[in-house]
Structure 1
Amino acid sequence: MKCILMSALLLTTVTTGAMAQEQRPNVVIMLGDNVGYGDIGAYGAGEIRGMPTPRIDQLASESLRLTQYLVEPACSPSRAALLTGRYSVRSGLNGVIIGGTPNTLQAGEVTLAELFKTKGYATAIAGKWHLGADEQSWPTRQGFDEYHVGVLESTDGTLYRESMQRQGMPEQAIVGAEPSVWESEPDGTLKKVRPYTLEYRKQVEGDIAKASVDFIDRASKGNEPFFLYVGWTHTHYPTRTAPEFEGKSRIGIYGDAVMELDFRTGQVLDAIKAAGIEQNTIVIWLSDNAAAPTAGPFDTRYGFNGPFREMVSVHDFLPTLASIIDAEVPTDRPIDGVDQSAFFTGAQEKSNRESLITFVADEVAGVRWRSFRLYPKQFVMAGGNPSMNGLAGNRMEMNGFPAIYNIEADPREEVNVVGTAAWVVGPYLRVIGDYQKSLVDHPNPKGFSLTEFGK
């Protein structure tokens, strides 16, 4: 087996040999939730931080590492980017989806699962979705045959009951706001199977792993290849683990959750091996948007994003996997991902990507070009390192000049080199200009804001 590892928590195994049509590979994507670059042993954490991750580290040891892998800066945007190959702003999903708001994945989007279906794949998802609860947005209406242990919303919702009880809210209102766990019927209809509570939070990761293992066992015996998307809920707050992982790490509940996530990952990898399909299965392990050390209860803030600024892109998977399985990428809309299949399989030395735009709401927040990152507005946070604050940071106008960092020389982005590297503004403006041209025929939908109304 030839393996590929990409940094920022992306591990991929790729089969050797030609991807002949009759030998199309199975694909398993595992997505961690709020896991930091600096939380995994393969990136210098693990035992050193009191929370070993042997299964993920083993996968890393068999893999090729990329040094500049980028995602979008929040849960819903990264998931939208992963499944559509497009900047999340193009689908109106560039903010975190909160239940009760109109943000939702539209029926007209073409997802990775829908591309796999065009090539005869069996498709399934287990775990977190977070791309909207409207029926048009359900995984089973977006190319997935099955949905198990379905967490449609964010895990934040498990805190609603306790918070609402403190405010004296009636039980009927609490039940209406409390998230649920869902399962799909044979016709794709979703049904509630239980409330998603703090108590069930202890059990959910094990159930996601079991559902994934069961699907792999069933699908591997079929006559068609399969695509499985595993949406883990660790290490998103509020953190709870199965009893056997309580006290497992040396740093408390966050470390316990990292170690359970590692174990559950191993269960999925073991199922692939037990099914005898290792040599024809691509496995992708990644995190959605890095750790959130400024969010949630204090004892869950131990996630670490390593030495890099949290603007960590998943857009390339759709065109890359489409190329591998010989599926057609949509041509009626902008696709921001690039085909990396030759790079991932070793046929070429370098990546096909040299730039990426990152958005906060519908505003360009940063532009990556080669080894430089430019910010139209500088991120500032009084009394703290801006690289640790992400969306919690404030942004400030810089007198008409962008802040420029050479992240190869300065990975923590502490030295603004606008005075000596202003020439980078030329490529920066070209990247922005190309994006703006794409909006002429394909304008972005109006995004939803919880702070600006009537616009």
Structure 2
Amino acid sequence: MSKDPERPNVVLILADNLGWGELGCYGGGILRGAATPRIDAFAKEGLLLHNFNVESDCVPTRSALMTGRHPIRTGCLQSVPAGFPQGLTRWEKTLPEVLKANGYATAHFGKWHLGDIPGRYPSDRGFDEWYGIPRTTDESQFTSAVGFVADVVEMPYIMKGKAGTPSENVRIYDLEQRRLIDETLVEYSKDWLSRQVNEVKNPFFLYHPLVHLHFPTLPHLNFAGKTKHGDFSDSMAEMDFRVGQLLDHIDSLGIADNTVVIFASDNGPEFRPPYKGTAGPWSGTYHTAMEGSLRVPFIIRWPGHVPPGTTSNEIVHVTDIFSTIASITKSPLPNDRPFDGIDQTPLFNNPVEAKSPREGFLFYIKNELRAIKWRDWKLHYVWEPQVNKSSGKLESPYLFNTTRDPKEETDILAYNTWVAQPMIKLRTEFEKSLRNDPAPPDPLKSL
């Protein structure tokens, strides 16, 4: 545990498919059937971002978070079934590897989704220990599916592992465990945090990727029926409670003053009934290039550094979190590869006056450039406002101003062709960088 303000502890809590409009502090809460008092109170203790942006899917976002590089560089383009090549290549340098080289203790309790074979588990990629699921929580439905045949698929397991030893199966991940897993993950994180404080003198990095609210969105039985608005709202109430448990434990250990705590989501809201979420004023869900896919919750608390009760609408991207945590912890980055993340520490320290050094980014789904976001503008090259409702590549792209038209309903490119200049410049510079840093080949295409 670190008491050195130059090397603070870091706790990163990542919700799964939590839309921008779900939490009370983002305009949801009781309007969505479940109050979120713990996260709402946490937001008042630090900085809440209105314009934090992620990738289109679980794997791309998590790879960007762990490497500070766009998935179009790393080849982590999509979620794929068990038994197929997936995850980060050994060449990629992960955030826990960077922190570990700087003397940090590291742990992962939750959903990984960046590799499911020896050499690619969390304990192989910089984490001292881990417990959770290697892939997606979709798989918890396998054993309950009508007609399920066990001998033709790799069974889903909850796993655990420690650095230097093989990871191992703990138990089958089924619908019963789906209801229990977030409770279990909190217990693992609390135990690990206690051990760092009582036994270890090093600063630490805890990565706690929740399973909620990913479908099937099923609450712990202690929360079933709690909101009287169904499983989704009950699960949101549980998620809020679990985050509160982690925050309370950090406070009880007396380490809050020198611990950076970040709460964010990996993707926009669920689109599958009956677990459909909401992005509030924005249109779309994950798997699209709409603002509802890009923008998700993000809150950071860092006492003495990040002013409490503040908000910002400056653009921040998920790759920036990698670079910012490296900067906060004084952890040097390798100089043999380009990083897409930008250090946002100045913005986080002074959100009222500071501006984000990021003006925009390119948004891909798999290998296809779908949109460019620049300042308050979004240029769509492919129009897919809802999942599987694509009209294909546009001969004339659609342009929207996301402040004046948050639902992205009225194309105004014909009246604002000037915007194409800075956007095409952004695209040209990024694509030039990609040519000098080609991604590994898509493993699915070589099968």
Both proteins in one fold, TM over 0.5: yes
1:305 counterpart = 2:283:
no
Structure 1 residue 172: Cα displacement: 3.4
Secondary structure in structure 1 of the residue aligned to 2:378: strand
CA contact under 8 A between 1:366 and 1:375: conserved in structure 2?
yes
2:121 pairs with one of 138, 141, 146: 138
CA contact under 8 A between 1:21 and 1:325: conserved in structure 2?
no
Secondary structure in structure 1 of the residue aligned to 2:392: strand
1:159 pairs with one of 134, 141, 156: 141
Structure 1 residue 366: Cα displacement: 0.9
TM-score when normalising by structure 1: 0.87
Q: Deviation per CA, 1:94-126, whole angstroms, max 9, x where unpaired? A: 212321221221111111101111210100000
1:339 counterpart = 2:343:
yes
Distance, in Å, in 1 between the alignment partners of 2:36 and 2:428 is 43
Distance, in Å, in 2 between the alignment partners of 1:414 and 1:81 is 29
- Counterpart AA for 2:34: M
CA contact under 8 A between 1:76 and 1:96: conserved in structure 2?
yes
1:418 counterpart = 2:413:
yes
1:397 counterpart = 2:378:
no
Structure 1 residue 395: Cα displacement: 4.2
- Counterpart AA for 1:307: P
CA contact under 8 A between 2:74 and 2:439: conserved in structure 1?
yes
Write the mapping of 1:55-454 to structure 2, written as runs, cut at 5 A: 55-148=38-131, 150-163=132-145, 165-166=146-147, 169=149, 171-173=150-152, 176-185=153-162, 187-221=164-198, 222-293=200-271, 295=272, 298-301=273-276, 303-308=277-282, 309=291, 310-312=293-295, 313-346=317-350, 349-379=354-384, 386=385, 389=386, 391-399=387-395, 401-449=396-444, 453=445
CA contact under 8 A between 1:145 and 1:188: conserved in structure 2?
no
Structure 1 residue 21: Cα displacement: 6.0
Distance, in Å, in 1 between the alignment partners of 2:321 and 2:100 is 16
Distance, in Å, in 2 between the alignment partners of 1:199 and 1:262 is 20
Secondary structure in structure 1 of the residue aligned to 2:222: helix
- In the alignment, which residue of structure 1 is the partner of 2:22? 39
- Counterpart AA for 2:280: G
- Counterpart AA for 1:240: L
- Counterpart AA for 1:346: N
Larger CA deviation: 208-217 vs 100-109: 100-109
Q: How many residue pairs align between the two structures? A: 414
Structure 1 residue 239: Cα displacement: 2.0
1:52 counterpart = 2:47:
no
- In the alignment, which residue of structure 1 is the partner of 2:300? none
Secondary structure in structure 1 of the residue aligned to 2:187: helix
In structure 1, list runs of 5 or more residues that go unmatched: 1-18, 380-385
TM-score when normalising by structure 2: 0.89
- Counterpart AA for 1:409: R
Structure 1 residue 299: Cα displacement: 2.5
In structure 2, list runs of 5 or more residues that go unmatched: 283-290, 296-316
RMSD across aligned C-alpha pairs, in angstroms? 1.8
Structure 1 residue 448: Cα displacement: 4.4
Structure 1 residue 392: Cα displacement: 3.5
Distance, in Å, in 2 between the alignment partners of 1:440 and 1:396 is 25
Secondary structure in structure 1 of the residue aligned to 2:169: strand
Q: Deviation per CA, 1:229-288, whole angstroms, max 9, x where unpaired? A: 001000111122211100011320000111101000011001100110010000010010
Structure 1 residue 67: Cα displacement: 2.5
Larger CA deviation: 328-337 vs 68-77: 328-337
Larger CA deviation: 310-319 vs 336-345: 310-319
Distance, in Å, in 1 between the alignment partners of 2:341 and 2:88 is 18
- Counterpart AA for 2:393: E
CA contact under 8 A between 2:144 and 2:175: conserved in structure 1?
no
CA contact under 8 A between 1:127 and 1:208: conserved in structure 2?
yes
CA contact under 8 A between 1:120 and 1:224: conserved in structure 2?
yes
Distance, in Å, in 1 between the alignment partners of 2:183 and 2:46 is 26
CA contact under 8 A between 1:71 and 1:78: conserved in structure 2?
yes
Distance, in Å, in 2 between the alignment partners of 1:126 and 1:143 is 13
Secondary structure in structure 2 of the residue aligned to 1:436: helix
Larger CA deviation: 347-356 vs 365-374: 347-356
CA contact under 8 A between 1:367 and 1:374: conserved in structure 2?
yes
CA contact under 8 A between 2:380 and 2:399: conserved in structure 1?
yes
CA contact under 8 A between 1:75 and 1:289: conserved in structure 2?
yes
Q: Deviation per CA, 1:157-196, whole angstroms, max 9, x where unpaired? A: 1112233x515x3x433xx522101111463421111010
CA contact under 8 A between 1:185 and 1:191: conserved in structure 2?
no
Distance, in Å, in 2 between the alignment partners of 1:430 and 1:41 is 38
